Amino acid sequence: MKLMKDEIETRRTFAIISHPDAGKTTLTEKLLLFGGAIREAGTVKGRKNSKHAMSDWMEIEKQRGISVTSSVLEFQYDGYHVNILDTPGHEDFSEDTYRTLTAADSATMLIDAAKGVEAQTKKLFKVCKMRGIPIFTFMNKLDRQGRDPFELMEELENLLGIRSYPVGWPIGMGQSFKAVYDRHHKKLELYNPDNPKDIDIISLSGPDDPKLDEVINDEGLVAQFREELELLDVAGDDFDVDLIARGELTPIFFGSAISSFGVQTFLQHFLSLSPAPTVRESTIGPIDPKTREAFSGFIFKVQANMNAKHRDRVAFLRITSGRFKRGMSVKHVRTNKPLKLSQPTQFLAQNRSIVEEACAGDIIGLFDPGTFRIGDTLVEGEAFEFDEMPHFSPEHFAAITVKEALKHKSYEKGLQQLTEEGAIQLFRTYNKYVEQQIVGVVGVLQFEVLEHRLKGEYNVDIQLERQPFSFARWIDGPSKALATLKEKQRNLVTDREGRLVALFENEFQMRTAQDKYPELTFYENSFYKKSII
């Protein structure tokens, strides 16, 4: 058996962040295929599993027409054990999407080269930035005419505030797409439009190698490529692993996921540059998976009724140190109670399998009869807790009331459950004669989920009255300024922990409030008391 330290060193747990339609499903599929290809050469069992996973996964994609929520996909490649955390993206975009990022050690930002940085990518990027995790960029769909690569780099800097270093650089694009040059390995990956899967890789002595003229056979393109590379070398950022590790510089790769083009090169660089599971802060100081042998982990997502037949809940746990073994006893720190982890599942798509063992970096699903809340810590040995899981600003709001007053008790219970699962955020109006409950969600689908689940699980009908707000800001600062704000500002609410939150309809409203109260800070998430998440 591998030593724990070696096992951790080869773990890579990451999420793909992108805007719908950029090609996340396609890229994930290709990554799994590469993983599967390795398995084919290795074990038969592995091959069977990977094929199974692929088809199940695609079937669900088809049925729902949206990304499968809650999947954790895993594959082996070149000695690495890779976990891809799926971030729900289309209509099912929710706070879970953000929270999933707290379980990832790095992120791959997938961008449609014709569209550049889009809204959802920007939101997800912000969460990664806040955590300071490394971000790798894959510019996709080079087989179609896209934007100029320099323009795309500029956009990363202007819209996201991140510098970049292209590891790959394209020669041509769309109709004239010829190849991607790997600046690190000095290799040319040739694109063959008639048979994109047939990928030729040629080693060069550098961009000036005459072989380049020969294989590209387009004087104009080659001249342009050489000029561009020179510009990158002279005026571009240097490759700096420390900046990459802190998420301040993103390595860029170019390719076409649908043609598997550039995917393997990306994967190889990604695996060697991305971090293994690292230290996380806790109430007893840093928890280092490389030195702490006792098991620990935290719940980052609770998913209800994944399987309609079972109507159960699954809590997703990210292992932060030690080894998980089926049946082991751990402490549930919030309730200070022992727990036996007997029915853990691992997620290869929707295809659940019982997991016997897992190690730091892995994600396991725990059967949840209602025990777990987002952010709960489970430990073996000395008890501690990880930092609280932050709430992110909802984007849709509604006043909520129960239709039949007699069902108030079930209604409150249901709301509490859904809030603890993190499906919704619940606020109370502040300083109003009649207190009102306001529900906030990140994706509008969550309103439907809320209605459906309160009815189905608690037999409660609710009324939702949509509010015009589009975001929330947690507010903190000197008490005098807070007191004035509390007196004068409209649309103040408190969150479940009693923190003060202001709701705004638009940026203009918020800026006006900020100008009025310059001593106060308006935070985009509830985590303002900590510097990082």
Q: 454-471 burial by CB neighbour count: b if 16+ within 10 A, else e?
A: beebbebebeeeebebbb
How many Å apart are CA 367 and CA 326, to the nearest integer? 12
Compare residues 20 and 289 and give the one whose CB is closer to ligand G4P.
Answer: 20
**Binders of ligand G4P in range 295-354 (CB under 6 A):** none
Q: Residue 89 Cβ, how far from ligand G4P at the closest point, in Å?
A: 6
The sheet with strand 425-429 has its strands ordered as 462-467, 396-402, 437-441, 425-429, 492-494, 500-504, 471-476, 521-523
Compare residues 87 and 320 and give the one whose CB is closer to ligand G4P.
Answer: 87
Sign of the alpha-carbon dihedral angle for 204, 210, 216, 220: positive
Q: Residue 142 Cβ, how far from ligand G4P at the closest point, in Å?
A: 7
Q: Residue 153 Cβ, how far from ligand G4P at the closest point, in Å?
A: 19
Contact between 108 and ligand G4P by CB under 6 A: the answer reads no
Residue in this structure with the two tokens 């479940």, named with its chain if needed: 496
Residue 345: count of CB within 10 angstroms of its CB: 17
Compare residues 90 and 486 and give the one whose CB is closer to ligand G4P.
Answer: 90
Contact between 257 and ligand G4P by CB under 6 A: the answer reads yes
Contact between 18 and ligand G4P by CB under 6 A: the answer reads yes
User: DSSP label at 159?
Assistant: I
In the list 7, 8, 23, 503, the residue contacting ligand G4P (rule: CB under 6 A) is 23
Q: Residue 526 Cβ, how far from ligand G4P at the closest point, in Å?
A: 29
Q: Which of 56, 72, 25, 64 is nearest to 314 (CA)?
A: 72
The site string for ligand G4P over 128-147 (x = CB under 6 A, - otherwise) reads ------------xx-xx---
Residue 395: count of CB within 10 angstroms of its CB: 17
Helices 263-273 and 24-41 meet at what angle, rounded to 10?
80
Q: Residue 64 Cβ, how far from ligand G4P at the closest point, in Å?
A: 12
Compare residues 54 and 245 and give the one whose CB is closer to ligand G4P.
Answer: 54
Q: Residue 29 Cβ, how far from ligand G4P at the closest point, in Å?
A: 8
Compare residues 24 and 99 and give the one whose CB is closer to ligand G4P.
Answer: 24
Contact between 20 and ligand G4P by CB under 6 A: the answer reads yes
Contact between 258 and ligand G4P by CB under 6 A: the answer reads yes
Indicate the pairing of strand 337-341 with strand 328-332. Answer: antiparallel
Only one of the segments 13-21, 68-76, 167-175, 512-520 lies at the binding site for ligand G4P (rule: CB under 6 A); that segment is 13-21
Please count the residues of this chain forming the interface with ligand G4P, following the rule CB under 6 A.
16
DSSP string, 343-402: S-EEEETTEEEE-SEEETT-EEEEEESS---TT-EEESSS---BPPPPPB--SEEEEEEE
In the list 11, 24, 301, 318, the residue contacting ligand G4P (rule: CB under 6 A) is 24
How many Å apart are CA 420 and CA 374, to the nearest integer? 7
Q: Residue 256 Cβ, how far from ligand G4P at the closest point, in Å?
A: 4
Q: Which of 407, 412, 402, 525 is nearest to 472 (CA)?
A: 525
Q: Would you give the end-to-end CA distance of the chain in angstroms?
A: 34
Compare residues 21 and 40 and give the one whose CB is closer to ligand G4P.
Answer: 21
Helices 445-458 and 408-421 meet at what angle, rounded to 10?
130
Contact between 26 and ligand G4P by CB under 6 A: the answer reads yes
Compare residues 24 and 323 and give the one whose CB is closer to ligand G4P.
Answer: 24
Compare residues 20 and 36 and give the one whose CB is closer to ligand G4P.
Answer: 20
Residue 239: count of CB within 10 angstroms of its CB: 15
Compare residues 145 and 224 and give the one whose CB is closer to ligand G4P.
Answer: 145
Paired strand residues for 74: 83
Compare residues 17 and 314 and give the one whose CB is closer to ligand G4P.
Answer: 17
The contact set with ligand G4P (CB under 6 A) reads 18, 20-26, 67, 140-141, 143-144, 256-258
